[in-house]
Structure 1
Amino acid sequence: MNPARPEFVPDASLSRAEMEELQWDVASAAAFTDDLSFDPANVSTAQSSLVPDEERPLVAGVDQAFLDDYAVSAIVVLRGGEVVERVHAVTELSIPYIPGLLSFREGGPIVDAFAELDCEPDLVLFDGSGRIHFRQAGLATHMGVVLDVPAIGVAKNLLCGRARESVGQRPEGWRTPIEAADGVKPRPTDDASTFSDTVVGYAYQSRQYPNSKQINPLYVSPGHRVSAETTVELVERLGGDYKLPEPTRLADAYADDCKREY
């Protein structure tokens, strides 16, 4: 699977100012509304006789492991509860981690992994932010636009934005909107006067376990061609027995397996 918008492929050789300018271009090209080829109700990680296989979308999880100065980028594609393809790529990293510029460190290696993929996913989940980003162009948004595929960001920490309610000590299934405040900047097409109230994602309490330490929520946000509300619905439907949704959990495990081989 090759980039649909190669002009947006992250270039780690750019200056910081040029990287930020490219992110603004990506954010302007991103669609934070639903443009899906499938019915969200058909998304699940469980097998069901009620939904024919041909109506189940291909859902990919993307994650990375790191070995010295190399990234091991892994993609696992599911149809329902069945893994239909797994690929990975090992790519030398060009720059260190810089908050807000993650896609310029990890985006190139992810593009390399997608080049190994035979199928074309209907939906991709990334380990990182989407619209919850200083310039509304986190890893999931950047890669979603490059590939022109519906994309979701699933992050473990809140990069910016403000939760409408306190996120502590919440039960499984609880969620609250993340509003565009505290660092999220409007695009030229956004209404700056009301932008701070815009919902750019959700804090979602995917799991809590009895008699164990409280689990923190995930921060899910639209990357491209998905709305914030549908984003959290899809992440919920892709949940399993663990905190992370199954596609990214399996990609995380596969990346670690590949790293051990190297």
Structure 2
Amino acid sequence: MPTARPDLVPDASLERDDMEAMQREIADAAVFEDDFDFDPATLGDPLAAASSGADPPTVVGVDQSFLTNEAGDQDRALSAVVAMRGGEVIERVHAVTPLEIPYIPGLLSFREGRPILAALEELSVDPDLILFDGSGRIHFRQAGIATHMGVVRDVPSIGVAKSLLCGTPTEDTENLPEGVRVPIESNSRVDAPDGTLLGYAVQTRQYDSPNRYINPLYVSPGHRVGPETAADVALALASSYKLPEPVRLADSYADEAKRGLDGDA
């Protein structure tokens, strides 16, 4: 699949102000509403996909691991990609590229974007939907890594983050029952009018115990997906675990691939 917006490929040589300006351009190009050809109701239900007569969509999960040099510094990113169709893994690929800038909150895609794009180039299948371990519209400039990559590739994308980068939940998110979602709205830290719906805190799994609880995921549209559908997808694809299965498997594969590289060293 060709890169739809090569002018927006992450460039770590840019100054911070230029990176932030690019993110605002990405947010302007992003589509934060449903614009895809598959039925999201079939994503977590292979039987529903089979009964519909349509081919199940190809859903891709992306996650990162990092490699260190002899000095103990992280100097390379390993981007792991797992493609699933009908609930089954159909392909796993990864790519390793240099890390060109340190971690800076809000500029994650300029650190990790090129490894992700390199890994996606290794796929032999075209994704219908990509889930990222990171933010989409829940971002200071509405352009987290899921939005940036989604716009560059022009593929429907969703950000699934473990912590809240910015925005304000409309209700308490502590100890939510399984299946509940709480809207996340923009505040003064976000380049959007106050009260703009950025995404949801989504409780995919919860303990049946009053003494411990699981924190929600912070799910937001990346590109060509609306916030409600993003939350629906996260719930549909979370099986026995907190993370949606494509992202969970990408996380596991990133660790596996890293161990393999460490073993070759």
TM-score, reference length from structure 1: 0.93
Q: Does 1:128 align with 2:134?
A: yes
1:34-183 alignment to 2 at 5 Å?
34-44=34-44, 46=46, 50-51=50-51, 54-68=54-68, 69-183=75-189
Instruction: Give distance in 2, aligned partners of 1:57 and 1:200.
Output: 25
1:206-245 alignment to 2 at 5 Å?
206-211=204-209, 213-245=212-244
8 Å CA contact 1:61–1:247 kept in 2: the answer is: yes
Listed one character per residue, the Cα deviations across residues 70-100 of structure 1 (whole Å, up to 9, x for unaligned) are 1110100101211111110011100110000
Instruction: Give distance in 2, aligned partners of 1:144 and 1:53.
Output: 28
Tell me the SS of whatever aligns to 2:66.
strand
Instruction: Give distance in 1, aligned partners of 2:188 and 2:206.
Output: 28
Q: Equivalent pairs: percent with the same residue? A: 59
8 Å CA contact 2:46–2:56 kept in 1: the answer is: no
8 Å CA contact 1:45–1:239 kept in 2: the answer is: no
Counterpart code for 2:202? Y
CA-CA distance at 1:52 after TM superposition: 5.7
Instruction: Give distance in 1, aligned partners of 2:130 and 2:251.
Output: 14
Instruction: Give distance in 1, aligned partners of 2:221 and 2:146.
Output: 8
Show the counterpart of 1:197: 195
Show the counterpart of 2:3: 3
Counterpart code for 1:228? P
Cα pair distance change 1:238/1:53, threshold 3 Å = farther
Cα pair distance change 1:88/1:49, threshold 3 Å = closer
Instruction: Give distance in 1, aligned partners of 2:105 and 2:26.
Output: 17
Residues paired across the two proteins, number: 254
CA-CA distance at 1:210 after TM superposition: 2.8
Counterpart code for 2:207? Y
Q: Does 1:251 align with 2:250?
A: yes
CA-CA distance at 1:4 after TM superposition: 1.5
Instruction: Give distance in 2, aligned partners of 1:54 and 1:178.
Output: 34
CA-CA distance at 1:37 after TM superposition: 1.1
Instruction: Give distance in 2, aligned partners of 1:60 and 1:251.
Output: 9
CA-CA distance at 1:213 after TM superposition: 2.6
8 Å CA contact 1:45–1:246 kept in 2: the answer is: no
TM-score, reference length from structure 2: 0.92
Q: Which runs of 5+ in 2 are unaligned?
A: 69-74
Instruction: Give distance in 2, aligned partners of 1:49 and 1:24.
Output: 37
Instruction: Give distance in 1, aligned partners of 2:188 and 2:258.
Output: 37
Show the counterpart of 2:72: none
Instruction: Give distance in 2, aligned partners of 1:112 and 1:118.
Output: 13
Listed one character per residue, the Cα deviations across residues 125-184 of structure 1 (whole Å, up to 9, x for unaligned) are 000000000000000000000000000000000000000000001111111100011411
Listed one character per residue, the Cα deviations across residues 199-243 of structure 1 (whole Å, up to 9, x for unaligned) are 110000111123473100000000000011111011111111011
Tell me the SS of whatever aligns to 2:51.
coil
8 Å CA contact 1:3–1:111 kept in 2: the answer is: no
Answer with 38-47 or 101-110: which moved more: 38-47
Tell me the SS of whatever aligns to 1:51.
helix
